Amino acid sequence: MPVSPALIPALSARWAVFLLVLLSRSAAAQSVLVQGRVVDEQQRPVPYATVGLADGSGGTATNEVGEFSLRAPGLPQRLVVLSMGYARLQTEVREVGAPVVLVLQPSAVALPGITVRNPDKIAEELVQRAAAKLLRHARSVQYGKAFYRQKTRQNGEYREFFDAFYDVKFTNRAIEGWDLSESRYAFTPGGFTFSNFSSIIRRIPVFSRHPFREKLLVPLGPQPTRAFYFTLRSILRENGQETAVIDFAPRPEARKPAASGTLYIDRETAALRRQEQVLPLSTMLTFRMEPEYERVGDEFRLVSDFAPYADSLTRLAATRAEGTVVLRRPGARPDSTHVAAHLYFYQYTSRLPGHAYEDVGRHSRDLQQVMKKPYNPQFWLENEVLRASPIEQEVIRSFEGRHVFGRFQ
C-alpha cells in the first residue's frame, strides 16, 4: 500500500529515534563498567575522590563510602585517582570482575614552624598572589558537562532526591549559566524542601571583584587582609608539588556576613586547588516557618575543588554543599533537616551549538525547570555519573517503586 507523503516525516522521525536507541545500546554494550572502592592505607573509605581515565576522556567521583562506577571504552585502561591530602595514584585495570580496591597513600605534611619563617606573612602573601591571579583571568569563560545530585533527610529519613545533568558555562569566579538536560526529582510532603538549593552553589563566588558591593565577604579578592585573618596551618608535599593549607577567619571589624574556612593554594604558582567555607545557612536562604517554631541550629559548608589546566591555572572540578537546619517548638523534640548536594564536572567542552547556557537567577527554582521536561526512567538505568551509595540505592528503588519520581505532588 502506498504511504501518504504526510506520514513520511513522522515515520522518518520514528526510525531516527529507533536508530539512536540502537546505537546508544550498541555503544553501551561495547564499553565496560569499572566498579570499585577507594580507601586509605588503613582501609578507610576516601569519599569524593576523583577517578578518571588517564586520557581525560571521562571521569567520576567516589560517593560517601568511597565507591565508584566508571564506564570505559574498553580494557586495559589506566585510571588516575586524585584526592586532596593524598598522593596521586595511577593504576591499570585489565579485566572486569570483582570490584577493584584502590589504596591511596597520604601526602607528606610539613609543619610551618619547621619549614618557613613568619608563616602568617607567607600565608597572606600567597593569598594575595592567588587573588591577583584569579582577577587577571576573571573574563576567561569555560564550558563543561556536569552531574548534580541533591538529597534531603528529615530526622534521618530521606524526603527529597534530585539528580540532573547540566551543560554549564562558568568562569573562575562563578557559574554563569546552565542548560538542564535530563533530571529526576522526588519528594514526600512535610518539612523543608530545597527547590533552589543549587542557587547557593551558583551565587557564592570563588572570589570577589568588588567586596564593598557584595552581601557576603569571601577571602579572595582585592585587599583580602582588610577583612580576614590568614594562618598557615601546614604544607602538603606530593611529587615535588607543595600545597599551602591556609585557614581564614573574618576580622572583628568586618561589617558584613563573612565565611570562615580553609584555602589550599599551590606555593609555586599561587593556583587555587581547594576552597572550604563555613557560614550560617540563613545567610543564603530565607526560612518560612510556623510561628511556634524557633530556629536553634543553622549550619552551611561549601567545598570547591579545582583541577589544573593550561599553564599553571585551575578551573572548577566539583562543588559540594551541606546544610543543616534544626527547629524546636515548646514541648517537642528538635526537628533536624539535612540537605547535601554535589556538582561534578565529568567532561569539559567547548561551547556547544544550540545551547543558550541560560542565566539562572537567584529567584529561580530547580523544580520549575525539572517540571518542563517529562521524566524518562529508562535514561537512568545506564547514565548515573556518581554511583549511589547503598542507602541511596535503596531510597531510589523505594521512590521508583512508589512512582514518586516525576509526580511533583
How many beta carbons lie within 10 A of that of residue 37, not counting itself?
18
With a pLDDT cut of 70, the percent of the chain lying above it is 90
Average pLDDT estimate for 123-140: 97
Q: What is the pLDDT of residue 14?
A: 38
pLDDT tens for 86-106 read 999 999 999 988 999 999 999
pLDDT over 70 (residue 29): no
Residue 159: band (very low, low, confident or very high) from pLDDT cuts 50, 70, 90: very high
Average pLDDT estimate for 389-396: 94
pLDDT over 70 (residue 199): yes
pLDDT tens for 235-273 read 999 888 999 999 999 999 988 999 999 999 999 999 999
The domains found in the chain, sorted by start residue, are 31-106 (2.60.40.1120), 110-401 (no CATH)
d(CA 277, CA 300): 8
- The better pLDDT of the pair 133, 7 is held by 133
Q: What is the pLDDT of residue 237?
A: 93
- Half-sphere exposure (Cβ direction) of 100: Cα atoms closer than 13 Å: 21
Average pLDDT estimate for 221-241: 94
Q: What is the pLDDT of residue 192?
A: 73
- The better pLDDT of the pair 21, 68 is held by 68
Q: Which three cell numbers stand for residue 310?
A: 593550561
The burial class, CB within 10 Å (0-12 / 13-18 / 19+), for 179 is: middle
Of 406, 407, 370, 376, give the one whose Cα is nearest residue 180. Answer: 370
pLDDT over 60 (residue 403): yes
pLDDT over 50 (residue 13): no
Average pLDDT estimate for 278-297: 82
Average pLDDT estimate for 392-406: 91
With beta carbons less than 8 A apart as the criterion, state whether 172 and 134 touch.
yes
Average pLDDT estimate for 166-174: 96
Q: What is the pLDDT of residue 408?
A: 67
Q: Which three cell numbers stand for residue 154?
A: 528529615
Q: What is the pLDDT of residue 395?
A: 93
Q: What is the pLDDT of residue 129?
A: 98
123 Cβ partners below 8 Å, 6+ apart? 230, 231, 232, 244, 246
Angle CA 263–228–316, to nearest 5: 30
Average pLDDT estimate for 60-68: 97
Average pLDDT estimate for 110-122: 78
Position of cell 535530563? 182
Helix (H, G, I), strand (E, B) or coil at 98: coil
| Range of lowest pLDDT (109-113, 205-209, 259-263, 332-336) | 109-113
With beta carbons less than 8 A apart as the criterion, state whether 283 and 214 touch.
no
Q: What is the pLDDT of residue 11?
A: 32
Q: Which three cell numbers stand for residue 27?
A: 555503544
pLDDT over 60 (residue 311): yes
pLDDT over 90 (residue 276): yes
Q: What is the pLDDT of residue 382?
A: 84
Residue 324: band (very low, low, confident or very high) from pLDDT cuts 50, 70, 90: very high
Identity of the highest mean pLDDT range in 37-51, 296-310, 318-332: 37-51
- The better pLDDT of the pair 384, 184 is held by 184
pLDDT over 90 (residue 346): yes
φ and ψ at 381, to 5 degrees? Answer: -70, -30
Q: What is the pLDDT of residue 113?
A: 64
pLDDT over 80 (residue 6): no
Q: What is the pLDDT of residue 201?
A: 84
d(CA 286, CA 383): 34
pLDDT over 80 (residue 341): yes
Q: What is the pLDDT of residue 349?
A: 96
The burial class, CB within 10 Å (0-12 / 13-18 / 19+), for 376 is: middle
Question: Rounded to whole angstroms, what are the CA distances from 290 to 95, 293, 294?
Answer: 57, 6, 9
Q: Chain-wide mean pLDDT for the chain?
A: 88
